[in-house]
Amino acid sequence: MLKPHQDAFGQLLHAHMKGGRPCLVVERDDGNVEAGPCMPVFFAKFNKWLRHEQRAMKYVSGRVLDVGVGAGRCALYLQKRGHRVVGIDNSPLAVKTAKARGVRDARVMPLDRVGPRLGKFGTVLMLGNNFGLFESPRKAQCLLKRLHVVTTPNARIIAESCDVYKVKEPRHVAYHKLNQARGRMAGALRLRVRYRTFCTPWFDYLNVSQTEMEQILIGTGWRVRHYLYARGPHYIAIIEKAP
């Protein structure tokens, strides 16, 4: 769990909910610093979501684990559709914000603490590029096996990622090549988030191509059923249990 002075993202969400106009700053370990997504994205109603996100909702079934619940936009939509949703986030203020907005069951919990005590789920939702929360290929395989245990026989994982090989901006391409030179995957980011005096610890965040995702899934009990594509490098994978 993040300490109060580390909870930059939660501070951003909470400030926006209270009517502020905070700015998310993302710092990368090569020194690149840039503004992140605008805060309204994390609070958007369904009709303002991107088309591939809207399409993904028809694949949700059963009880839902919303990984990286944030301000609760997905959890709130699914609650209205009658789903029981458990939202998890390692940011205490994000969880506080989600609950204040009406998410019934939101818990301060990182992905690697998910276990049988949470019960069984029919869907694991990882929108907002949250496949990245697996952090690394090895950790992804371990956690995917764990998710296999805590899900129903016909469960799905709905996960969004970014194919960095489709990114053409020179500073990002240079970073991807740097990663490969030091033995990491091209899309293995090392980041921290800043807001005013708040700053998260450095953390790993994994972007993968479709081919890389399929390779990671080998031996985990999961396979990609199909993809939903957005404009640009982002896509959503509909992942199901392998026979």
pLDDT (average), residues 145-167: 98
Placement of tokens 């944030």 in the chain: 70
What per-residue confidence (pLDDT) applies to 210? Answer: 98
Local confidence band at 93 (pLDDT 50, 70, 90 cut-offs): very high
pLDDT (average), residues 219-243: 96
pLDDT of 9 strictly over 90? yes
Could you give the domains of the chain?
4-241 (3.40.50.150)
Could you read off the pLDDT of 40-75 as tens digits, one per residue? 999 999 999 999 999 999 999 999 999 999 999 999
What percent of the chain stands above pLDDT 90?
A: 97
Note the pTM of the prediction, 2 decimals: 0.97
d(CA 4, CA 93): 9
What per-residue confidence (pLDDT) applies to 37? Answer: 84
Could you read off the pLDDT of 114-152 as tens digits, one per residue? 999 999 999 999 999 999 999 999 999 999 999 999 999
HSE, CB side, 13 Å, CA atoms: give it for residue 190: 11
What per-residue confidence (pLDDT) applies to 235? Answer: 98
Listed in sequence order, the DSSP H helices in 69-126 are: 73-80, 92-100
pLDDT (average), residues 87-97: 98
pLDDT (average), residues 67-92: 98
> How far is C-alpha 171 from the chain's CA centre?
24
For 174, other C-beta atoms within 10 Å of its C-beta total: 12
pLDDT of 190 strictly over 90? yes
DSSP code string of 143-174: HHHHHHHTEEEEEEEEEEEE-GGG---HHHHH
pLDDT of 96 strictly over 90? yes
What per-residue confidence (pLDDT) applies to 109? Answer: 98
Amino acid at 242: A
The per-residue b/e assignment along 122-148, b for 16 or more CB within 10 angstroms, e otherwise, is bbbbbbbbbbbbbbebeebbebbebbe
> What count of residues does the chain have?
243
- Structure token pair of residue 8: 């930059």
108: closest CA among 118, 121, 95?
Answer: 95
- Structure token pair of residue 208: 């993968």
